[in-house]
Amino acid sequence: MARHDFDPDTVVPDGRPPAKARLFDGALTGPYRGSVNGETLPTQVTILTYGNDEPGTGPVLHVHPYDEVFVIQEGRARFFVGDQVIDAEAGEIVLGPAALPHRFINLGPGRLQTLDIHLSPKWIQTNLE
């Protein structure tokens, strides 16, 4: 599919060089395997990786002052965002809008793996549980 959404001649590089950072070490155990603050790259997006093999478990209820986008890479999850309940599976994404408390659990069977995109140069969070 050919895309031509803008004219490349109208965009000027901002001077940032390409950058690389390690998101996670595959040898680490536990649900939180790593994160990269956007300011490391530098960009306005922070990325976390989360996964667990235990249905019914997940992060505690928490809130951010910015949007968070969850990419379900493997398995199935139930998200609690504000007063909404959203079931999602591998290949789907879920939005957690700024200031809405949220959490999610692994619905099973098997592993849940997510890539969590925080629209902020830093991971800022308040746990509510």
- For the chain, the domains span 41-127
Which pair of structure tokens corresponds to residue 6? 């803008």
Q: What does the pLDDT profile of the chain (129 residues) look like in tens digits?
A: 787 787 888 988 888 777 888 887 777 777 877 888 888 888 999 999 999 999 999 999 999 999 999 999 999 999 999 999 999 999 999 999 999 999 999 999 999 999 999 999 999 999 998
Q: Output the pLDDT for position 120.
A: 94
Burial zone of 29 (CB within 10 Å; 0-12 exposed, 13-18 middle, 19+ buried): exposed
CB 76 within 8 A of CB 89: yes
Bridge partners for 100 per DSSP: none
Q: What is the pTM of this model?
A: 0.85
Class at the top of the CATH hierarchy for domain 41-127: mainly beta
CA-to-CA dists, residue 40 to 34, 37, 44, 65, 76, angstroms? 13, 6, 10, 20, 31
Cβ atoms within 10 A of the Cβ of 71, count? 17
